[in-house]
Amino acid sequence: MQAPQHRGGAGRAEQNDTITLTYSEPINPATVNASFTGASMAMRVSLTNNGSSDRMDFTTTTGTRLNLVNSSTDLSLGRDFVANATIFNATMVMSGSTVTVTLGTRISGTLKTVATTGTLTWRPSATAKDLAGLAASTTLVTESGTADRDF
């Protein structure tokens, strides 16, 4: 597994920002969610205020957790991006061994702009399985490279 990567860099979570979760090999999209085929799927992204290290989680548009993160506390953003619980419309798509989530419109919550650099950490869900049916590792992975501004 590789740690999550992001696209943005303005220091604020906003529409069209992405986060890419990379597995060591392709996973079966139906183990992320029974309705997921790997093609673009509407979903929601929740950012939870957790002091200086806010958290991110993923659900369907009806609120069912997606099997991308081991628990709702296992994707740490490493900085303080939100003043309160914040929810975005979003989409996810799979290509090979990566799942890319793209933020859409903000549904609720209050954002902050973060000028500092930091590092994301991710603990994958063991419910996500590869094409042979083997569970993803739940070992915590840390974003590689130099600390940077996310989103």
Domain edges within the chain: 2-139
pLDDT in tens, 31-73: 999 999 999 999 999 999 998 899 999 999 999 999 999 999 9
Spatial distance between the Cα atoms of 151 and 149, rounded to a whole number of angstroms? 7
What per-residue confidence (pLDDT) applies to 1? 47
Tokens read off for 109 = 């919550």
Q: What's this model's pTM, rounded to 2 decimal places?
A: 0.91
State the 10-residue block means of pLDDT for the chain, 151 residues long: 53 88 95 98 97 95 97 92 96 97 96 81 96 95 76 71
Report DSSP letters for 88-150, one per residue: EEEEEEEETTEEEEEEEEEEE--B----S-B--EE---TTSBBTTSPBPP---EE--SS-B--
User: Which residues on neighbouring strands pair with residue 7, listed in sequence order?
Assistant: 18
